[in-house]
Amino acid sequence: MTRIIMIRHGETEWNQLGIYQGQLNSNLTENGRNQAIAIAQRLQNHKFDCLYSSDLGRAQETAQPISKVCNLSLQLEKGLRERNYGIFEGLEKNRVADVHSEAYISHKTNDPHYVIPNGESMFQFQKRVWKCVETLAKKHEGKSIIIVTHGGTIAAIIYKILSMDLSTKRPFSTLNTSYNEIYQSENRWKLKILGDTSHLFYAGYDDIV
C-alpha cells in the first residue's frame, strides 16, 4: 500500500495580511515556524520512506524540521507548487477586484477552465499536481511518502481522488500545517485523514489559515 501524507506549509506573513501568494514567496511568521516544529514532532515517531517539498520557500522552511527529526533527506519538486495566480499574486485579496476587475469577475465564476492572466486555470493546476503525485507514487510504490506543499495543492489532490467537480466551492479547510493522508489500494486512491491540526492544539499553537 502506498501512502502519501500531505502537509500544508506553516503560516506566512502574507497569510496574515490576506495577500495572494501563489508562486511568489512569503516567509513564515514566528507562529508558522512553531507550527512547523509541532507537525515535525507529530511525525517523528513514525516511519516514513521519503520526504518531498514544493520548491517554494515557505514549504521548504516547513519541511526542514521534519527532515531533521525524521532523518529524511529533503527532495524538492516543482510540481507540488501552489496554483499560479498570475496577475493576482502579491496583491491583497480585498484589492484584486478593484485592480483587475474583469479578471476577478471571471475568476469568481469558478469556471475550472478559466486561465488567470499569466497564471493557471484550476484544470491546468490539478493536471500538473496530479501528474506529480502519480510520478512519486510510481517511484515509491508501497512506501510512505511525506509531501510538504500548499493548501490549493492539497485541495486539488483531494478533489481528484473524490471525483469532485472543480467548479464547486471547496467544502473543507486545509489549515496551516494540517495533516492530510491518502493511500492507494488495489489501484484506487482513497482519503483517510483530512485537515487534522490536533498537533497544534496539544502544542499550544494557533492553527491560523
**Which residue in 9, 100, 107, 150 is the catalytic one?**
9
Which amino acid, 59? A
Q: CA torsion sign, 103 to 109 to 113 to 119?
A: positive
- Say what the pTM is: 0.95
Q: What tens digit of pLDDT does each residue of 140-149 get? A: 999 999 999 9
Average pLDDT of the chain?
A: 95
Q: Quickly count: other Cβ atoms within 10 Å of residue 158's Cβ.
A: 20
Superfamily of domain 2-203: Phosphoglycerate mutase-like (3.40.50.1240)
Question: Which one of 77, 82, 89, 120 is the catalytic residue?
Answer: 82
CA angle, residues 108, 24, 207, in degrees to nearest 5: 75
Q: Reply yes or no on whether 82 is catalytic.
A: yes
140 is known as an active-site residue: no
Extents of the domains making up the chain: 2-203
Nearest to 26 by CA among 63, 55, 57: 57
Tens-digit pLDDT profile for residues 15-44: 999 999 999 999 999 999 999 999 999 999
Task: Give the span between the Cα atoms of 23 and 150, in whole angstroms.
Answer: 10
Q: Provide the pairing of β-strand 179-185 with 74-76.
A: unpaired
DSSP 150-178: -HHHHHHHHHHHTT--TTSPP-S---TT-
Residue tagged 483530512 (cell numbers): 194
